[in-house]
Amino acid sequence: MNYLDFEKPLAEIEGKAEELRALARKNEGMDVSKEAEALDRKAADLLRDMYRNLDPWRKCQVARHPDRPHCRDYIEALFTEYTALAGDRNFAEDKAVMGGLARFNDRPVVVIGQEKGSDTKSRIEHNFGMARPEGYRKAIRLMDLADRFRLPVITLVDTPGAYPGKGAEERGQSEAIARCTEKCLQIGVPLISVVIGEGGSGGAVALATANRIAMLEHSVYSVISPEGCASILWKNAEKMREAANALRLTAQDLSKLGVIDRVIEEPIGGAHRHRKETIERVGRAIAEMLDELSGMKPAELVSARRQKFLSMGSKGLAA
């Protein structure tokens, strides 16, 4: 288990319980079950209290936890007959964005998501989930395909933001993001988005301009990272806690502001501790959101999606 900074007291208690059990395994006559169980109860209570009162910065840390389920995990668990489609038919294949044709509950769909990778090699291969222009152009190609064959689109958002490198800017990063966002607003099929980790800046909006937007309880969605915001406003990235509080980037805040439609509750301790259960909850939420949109005509879907985003400013001001 990879413990976050604020989980150190929990790590100490669980470590002591494991030490007791290891000692008992070496000494067959030793009975430490009562002491170990007492430590387990103490750890469970502490974990519950910690995750009941997470502040925005701690939620950022949880959202970035390397053991959280990533896009590939959701696709493998929730979708069948997944056929990956690669390349933007213009420049290259961008592995930060993965997607293709699949079945969800035996219904044909197009699924698109940002993949961060799970170890050093795969994180480098997927560029830590930071897409280049060709990644967004691939997403546009897949959405065009979905629109042509009247297939719902499901997007899984998990990115620190679009890749800010020189090459990406030379190839039209901002234009690619804008056109991807525009395509989200144009397609006449149900479009559902789930923020499963980080929803960073325009890199997230490009895939999350949807009819229904859901966030996992401990995910974050913001115009800029807390560190980036602190660097700009205070010239000091160490003020990221203050920035996180000001950005209102938590699922709970964004639900109140009308930016998202639902919060998917995570098991106590976060998605990284309960991967299978979290994935199942996301699957149920996607199914419910698809049902809500079933029967709507293409023009109705487009109109409702546009109106949803046009009205966000007024909802935010009212809140």
Burial code (b: 16+ CB inside 10 Å, e: under 16) for 158-193 equals bbbbbbeeeebeebbbeebbebbbebbeebbbbbbb
Residues 42 and 97 occupy one common structural domain: no
Residue 3 domain-assigned?
A: no
Burial code (b: 16+ CB inside 10 Å, e: under 16) for 233-259 equals eeeeeebbebbbeebbbbbebbbebbb
Q: How much is the average pLDDT of 48-73? A: 94
Output the six-digit token pair for 172. Answer: 């039209």
Residues 71 and 44 occupy one common structural domain: no
Q: How much is the average pLDDT of 129-155? A: 97
Residues 161 and 200 occupy one common structural domain: yes
Residue 165 domain-assigned?
A: yes
- Say what the pLDDT of residue 314 is: 67
Which residue, 68, 62, 66, is CA-closest to 7? 62
Residue 2 domain-assigned?
A: no
- Say what the pLDDT of residue 316 is: 44
**pLDDT tens, residue by residue, 4-46:** 999 999 999 989 988 888 887 777 767 777 888 899 899 999 9
Residues 36 and 86 occupy one common structural domain: no
Give the C-alpha separation, 62 to 270, whole Å. Answer: 7
Residues 212 and 297 occupy one common structural domain: yes
Residues 126 and 26 occupy one common structural domain: no
β-pairing, 107-114 with 97-104? antiparallel
Residues 167 and 295 occupy one common structural domain: yes
Residues 121 and 190 occupy one common structural domain: yes
CATH label of the domain that carries residue 174: 3.90.226.10
| 96: exposed, middle or buried (Cβ count in 10 Å: 0-12, 13-18, 19+) | buried
CB 135 within 8 A of CB 93: no
Q: How much is the average pLDDT of 102-110? A: 97
Percent of the chain having pLDDT more than 70? 97
Confidence band for 63, pLDDT divided at 50, 70 and 90: very high
Output the six-digit token pair for 251. Answer: 């699922």
Q: Is the pLDDT of residue 319 over 60?
A: no
Q: Which domain holds residue 29?
A: 18-53
**pLDDT tens, residue by residue, 176-217:** 999 999 999 999 999 999 999 999 888 999 999 999 999 999
Residues 217 and 270 occupy one common structural domain: yes
**Domains contained in the chain, number:** 2
Residue 1 domain-assigned?
A: no
Q: How much is the average pLDDT of 130-137? A: 96
Residues 39 and 149 occupy one common structural domain: no
Residues 34 and 126 occupy one common structural domain: no
Last residue of a domain, one of 53, 80, 100: 53
Give the C-alpha separation, 303 to 319, whole Å. Answer: 24
Q: What is the helix (H) or strand (E) element at residue 293, kind and residue range?
A: helix 275-293
By residue count, the chain amounts to 319
The verdict on pTM exceeding 0.85 is yes
Residues 49 and 111 occupy one common structural domain: no
Query: Which residues, including other chains, have CB under 8 Å from residue 307's CB and lie 6 or more apart?
Result: none
Residue 200 domain-assigned?
A: yes
